[in-house]
Amino acid sequence: MQIGIIIFLVILIAILAAYNLSISKKIKTFSNINEKISNLNVLQDFIDTIGKDMPVNNKIEVINDIIIQKFNIKYSTIVVFNGAEYVLKTSNVDEKHWETLRNLHTEEIFKDSIMTATPKHITVDKPEEKLPYQKFELGRAKSAIFFPLYIDNIYIGYWIIESNEPHAFDHFDTNILGIVKENIVAVLKTVSYQNTIENIYRVDKTTGLNSAEYLYGKAKTIIDKYPQSTICMFTITNIEDINKKFNRNIGTDVIVKMTNLIKTSISAEYIFVRYMGPKFAIVFSGVDEEGVMNFVTSIKKEIEKIRLSKKSKTKKEVEYTFPRTNFAIANYYKGTGLEEVTKKLEEYLDNANINESNINCI
């Protein structure tokens, strides 16, 4: 009888153990699925950040914040080599440690990692120990993973994550961190193009206005604060005649006086650029065409009241000249191609009759 009870209990325990093992496997599978979903969400956050209208440096900072929050990482720092020097792009470490962090490429312990493009995991075993690269921040970090960053097999910097606990990264999923690293590289690659666009513009020496490229970089952040704006492009149609019949200095004076007149007449929220040669553009941020028409009608009249003179060499009398303008206006909607609108306006003005002097809504 007792033997039968013992056998029954053994079988019952075996069944329960098998059941618990099955449940454990299901929980682990569910956890893995949840982890994968969570990681996909992180990658989606990265993609969303890349697509946002914000300055380059802000995007990198947002990406770093996502890494810190989603993976519960104590410290995260991204350093990029810009061709001349190493620049700390973003970090949540106290600023007093930045000099050390932006010079990690000089540390012997990381040189092999950079050469072989492989991560380097380091940690301490005892509380009184410090990581090899640390100078005076003894208690700040006790473990770290160093990731060299490459774009098209070209080394461009590194990403380092740190913890204030020893062996904190021993069981981290290195595959996931590798994917995060590749997304950091993708962000840096994307924002490098944006950085070029944001900084390619120049300032016109004659007028002090930004060039057309300014519209598609830094100005776009201002313009896209609003769902709709109006773009006005105009040209001084008789500038070549003024240069020929008078001289280039008079032509330059016409442009400068016209520019100063507009500068003092528009809001700081509006963008005024020298588009190309005698063509200029004003973006009325957040204003529709109807709201712009009265202003443009008024400013066109004021521009054409400008008078410059010179003495005639033959008739001994004063000759006067004034600018004649042709305007084209179009709507711009946030999320559409700003460059497509300006191209359409430019083509209209280039193809218009030389004697046309209107305000055209296209």
Tell me which of 116 and 26 has the higher pLDDT: 116
Number of neighbouring beta carbons within 10 Å of residue 325: 22
Tell me which of 63 and 265 has the higher pLDDT: 265
Whether residue 27 has pLDDT greater than 50 = no
Write the pLDDT tens digit of every residue in 239-283: 999 988 888 898 999 999 999 999 999 988 899 999 999 999 999
8-state DSSP, 106: G
Which helix (H) or strand (E) segment holds residue 87: the answer is strand 86-91
Q: Mean pLDDT, the chain, as a whole number?
A: 83
Give the burial class of 145: count Cβ atoms within 10 A of its Cβ; 0-12 exposed, 13-18 middle, 19 or more buried.
Answer: buried
Tell me which of 36 and 229 has the higher pLDDT: 229
Is 82 in a helix, a strand, or coil? coil
Write the pLDDT tens digit of every residue in 304-336: 999 888 766 666 677 888 899 999 999 999 878
Question: Can you tell me the distance from the alpha carbon of 120 to that of 147, in angstroms, rounded to the nearest whole number?
Answer: 7
3-state secondary structure 19-52: HHHHHHHHHHHHHHHHHHHHHHHHHHHHHHHHHC
pLDDT at 31: 42
pLDDT at 290: 85
Question: Can you tell me the distance from the alpha carbon of 46 to that of 2, in angstroms, rounded to the nearest whole number?
Answer: 65
Write the pLDDT tens digit of every residue in 197-211: 566 778 999 999 999
Q: Concatenated DSSP letters for 119-130?
A: -EEEE-SSTT--
Give the CA-trace dihedral at 54, 57, 61, 67, to 10 degrees.
Answer: 90
> Sign of the CA dihedral 310, 313, 319, 324?
negative
Tell me which of 172 and 311 has the higher pLDDT: 172
Give Cα separations from 154 to 86, 119, 166, 218, 327 (angstroms): 15, 16, 32, 28, 48
pLDDT at 224: 86
Give Cα separations from 157 to 79, 80, 86, 151, 177 (angstroms): 6, 4, 7, 10, 16
pLDDT at 151: 85
Is 271 in a helix, a strand, or coil? strand
Q: Give the best-scoring range by mean pLDDT among 10-14, 166-170, 317-321.
A: 166-170
Q: Are 290 and 329 in contact (CB under 8 A)?
A: no
Confidence of residue 195 (pLDDT cuts 50, 70, 90): low
Residues with Cβ within 8 Å of residue 188, at least 6 apart in sequence: 60, 78, 80, 89, 149, 151, 156, 157
Average pLDDT for 182-191: 78
Is 116 in a helix, a strand, or coil? helix
pLDDT at 116: 92
Confidence of residue 30 (pLDDT cuts 50, 70, 90): very low
Confidence of residue 193 (pLDDT cuts 50, 70, 90): low
Write the pLDDT tens digit of every residue in 113-152: 999 999 999 999 887 888 999 876 666 889 999 999 998 8
